[in-house]
Chain A
């Protein structure tokens, strides 16, 4: 649980650093180049992706097992059950925020990984998705839940691994909050920036110009219909797939 969770945090730090390339220019070239670079690792990338998937599934399975075992440890509940204020909102909703992250990750993979690459590049796909109201909402809720999950997770993992003690407890608790804020707010920046249009003008102008007209129309539509039309219009580029 703790080991898989910490390794996933490690991945997220790298992932966030990669995503920040989106902000480094207005055309998305840096980000696209980064994505191409990753692809150029070929089979190695598959190995890494498989490892990541295994970590995620292991963490999920352990998390669900812990949750069910713990429910089963007290079958007769208290009629009146009062906390003493030690547990936090985050610590009492780990399985809830975890499952929200799971659903979000599935949507996220369907959005950008399991779908054909758009001819105008990955950066343009990302900007398009995050500019839609539904897309922005899904991403903000998803990474918000992740931030809440992590605000309990880091200190909890340190405690589980026996790395905590009375001297380190305060710094470790602070580091945990910092991890949660950096990753939660860091990932939330993307939907916030693209949806609010703060970094819209230059970028989306270049994106719009490159998008076929069928897709342009769909931009205004709802997320579902936009995905449908996108898939039908881009089916010609299937050699780009994965």
Chain B
């Protein structure tokens, strides 16, 4: 992991120095999944771009392509995006066979075209899972995640003014682990990259960040049971512990959360309340 980071870093550095000014625009061949609606048969359409600036983000490159399509009287390619700064979880896309592309811990919206080579062919597909049906082109319906969150319900906590800073003791280890789990942006790349289209990494992150904190204790058991039940209803696959999700997650959510989810689930099953 660190070695591939180093190579990319070196590469990036080179292009910010002298190479930056000279680095010419890229010629790309894009194979983009086009699908009119959820029930239509989709297929790849091929587009050629010969003046892609290396400074563009991946989504900006698609914006440019869309402007051309519209100008030519064609329908724009539908894709999801919102913040474009890697924090909202709206963007998706499977780029050359990898959800969010090949860069580690990076969302699609944070990929830049300088990472690609002149003359490269790029396949762009939607996230694929039966629980994430295609809405149109590259847009998939990830509301299964919302229903899992909803099934988890509320926490019982005192509302009103902020409590005293040290009124509620939380061990640093627990706070750190909870924060790490809470970094999940709900993008669905874990499902998209899992060979079984399992949602365990997402659910484990959501269950973990509350189970680790005192505020999550009141509903600790009922929450995990309800969320897992909803997850199963949505038609995700079963986890076989291959860890591809962790490698694909733009927020680096660890599979140790999945072990915790399994622990929480067994604990809840065994408890009487």
In the assembled complex, which residues on chain A have CB atoms less than 8 Å from the CB atom of B96?
Answer: 80, 82
Interface size class of A (residues with CB under 8 A): 35 or more
Select the stretch in B21-29, B155-163, B164-172, B254-262 that faces chain A: B254-262
Within 54-113 of A, Cβ neighbours of B (below 8 Å) are at 66, 69-70, 72-88, 91-92, 94
Within 118-177 of A, Cβ neighbours of B (below 8 Å) are at 152, 155-156, 158-166, 169
Q: Judge whether B237 and A84 touch: CB under 8 Å.
A: no
Interface of A is mostly: loop
Which of B195, B241, B264 has most chain A Cβ within 10 Å?
A: B241
Q: How far is the CB of A14 from chain B (nearest CB, A)?
A: 26
**Which residue in A77, A84, A156, A165 is a CB contact (below 8 Å) of B256?**
A165
Given contacts A73-B131, A78-B128, contact A83 B244 (CB under 8 A): yes
Chain B contributes a number of interface residues (CB within 8 A of A) equal to 45
Q: Judge whether A75 and B130 touch: CB under 8 Å.
A: yes
Q: How far is the CB of B124 from chain A (nearest CB, A)?
A: 10
Within 202-252 of B, Cβ neighbours of A (below 8 Å) are at 235-244, 246-248
Residues of B that sit less than 8 Å from A by CB: 31, 33, 44, 94, 96-98, 102, 123, 125, 128-131, 134, 193, 195-198, 235-244, 246-248, 254-256, 258-266
- 3 nearest A-B pairs in the assembled complex, by CB-CB distance: A162-B263, A73-B237, A82-B97
Having A72-B237, A75-B130, A159-B258, one finds 5 other A-B pairs with CB under 8 Å, namely: A66-B238, A73-B237, A83-B244, A94-B240, A163-B263
24 A–B contact pairs at CB < 8 A? A66-B240, A69-B237, A69-B238, A70-B196, A70-B237, A72-B237, A73-B235, A73-B236, A75-B130, A76-B134, A79-B33, A84-B244, A86-B244, A86-B247, A87-B195, A87-B242, A92-B195, A159-B241, A159-B262, A160-B239, A162-B265, A163-B259, A166-B254, A169-B256
